[in-house]
Amino acid sequence: MDRDAEHCKGGEDSTAAEDPLELAASEASAGSENEDNADGDSGDDILADLDVTDTGIELTHSRLKSLEPLGLERFSKLEYLGCRQNLIHDMSPLAPLVTLTELDLYDNRIKHIRGIEQLTKLTSLDLSFNKIRTIESLSTLCALRELFLVSNKIETIANLQSLVNLTYLELGANRIREIAGLDELVNLEQLYLGKNKIARLQNLGRLRRLRVLSIQSNRITAIEGLEELAELEELYLSHNGIPTLAGLEHNTKLTILDITSNQISELGGIRQLQRLEDLWASGNKLASFANVEAECTRLPALRTVYFEFNPLQRAQPANYRRKLMLALPQITQIDAELCRPEPGATPPPA
């Protein structure tokens, strides 16, 4: 998240006399002091104008350091609390809010998942962009359907076994090295693991309802372990080290396949994907139009293809789009540009 410091501009005479390094240091010190002072704990009741029967409270970017002075316990019917982009580190003042169904603490300073064990009605919890190292203290939150833990410091997927109603799990941008600890999440439909350190696709077989799997920007070198995921519709594998498309034989419901920026030199193993609509294959080693035509003409639902930044595009940039259009008459979009109307679309007025 971009948080560039603001630079003050003084008068012409003063800036000429000031040492730039001293001025910058002074500004940084002042900014830090202001942040420490503006913590929402001034004694004023910032929620005084709200009715205690309100069901939703939004306190985004309010520079709150603590939730305790807010007196949230008076809101006995509260269902939603949003406190994004604050300085909160302790969640224990939330314990009395047993009616909460949605809690958003995105971008704070939370290090430990504690103090929310009593919030058993929660269906959505967002603790992304914090400083959490361990998934813990969630065993009582059995009603959770959505859990967001993006951009923390988590190394291990653990302590999720009681969250059997979870349908959406986001663990992107952490330090995870192994897919594990998901066996009990049998209702999971969307799983996001991008920007971690995962080397293998494994331990996914129990997730038979999974429709979306995103594992971009990891260390994957083979498509494997997806045999049981027959309901999979969207698979995002970009920015890995995959050399071949073998391993998708049982994923015949795929509509989107993202293999951008891998090591694939030829298409193969996708002819069974008769529902595939989008094939994103930019930034690979594809050099043969004949190979693309042989594999993709057999995909009747295919509408969008991305092949830019492959040898076949770089070698013939002037003819690249025309050759793809001739080879694949069913497609309507090449890279980011439309190439023909959708089948059955009404033509624009003359």
Instruction: At 245, list the tokens.
Output: 């498309």
Residue 30 has pLDDT above 90, yes or no: no
How large is the average pLDDT for residues 306-334? 96
Q: Report DSSP state, residue 92.
A: G
DSSP 189-249: -EEE--SS------S-TT-TT--EEE--SS---S--S-TT-TT--EEE--SS-----TT-T
Please give the pLDDT value at position 12.
35
Amino acid at 289: F
15 pLDDT higher than 80: no
Task: Tell me: pLDDT of 233 over 80.
Answer: yes
Separation of alpha carbons 39 and 65, rounded Å? 5
Residue 44's pLDDT band, with cuts at 50, 70 and 90, is confident
Concatenated DSSP letters of 237-285: --SS-----TT-TT-TT-SEEE--SS---S--S-TT-TT--EEE-TTS-
Measured CA to CA, the distance from residue 158 to residue 175 in angstroms comes to 13
- For the chain, what is the mean pLDDT? 90
* Mean pLDDT for the stretch of residues 294-321: 96
Higher-pLDDT residue of 63 and 31 is 63
Residue-wise DSSP of 118-132: T-TT-SEEE--SS--
Q: Are 105 and 87 in contact (CB under 8 A)?
A: no
3-state secondary structure of 325: helix
What pLDDT is attached to residue 236?
Answer: 98
pLDDT band, residue 342 (cuts 50/70/90): confident
Nearest to 78 by CA among 58, 53, 61, 95: 53
Give the pLDDT mean for 181-199.
Answer: 98
In the chain, what are the domains? 235-345 (3.80.10.10)
Share of the chain above pLDDT 70, in %: 86
**What is d(CA 337, CA 327) in angstroms, rounded to the nearest whole number?**
17
Model pLDDT, residue 255: 98
Which band of pLDDT confidence, cut at 50, 70 and 90, is reported for residue 42? low
When pLDDT is cut at 50, 70 and 90, the band that residue 33 belongs to is very low
**38 confidence band (pLDDT: 50, 70, 90):** very low
pLDDT digits (tens, 9 = 90+) for 249-288: 999 999 999 999 999 999 999 999 999 999 999 999 999 9
The pLDDT of residue 76 is above 80: yes
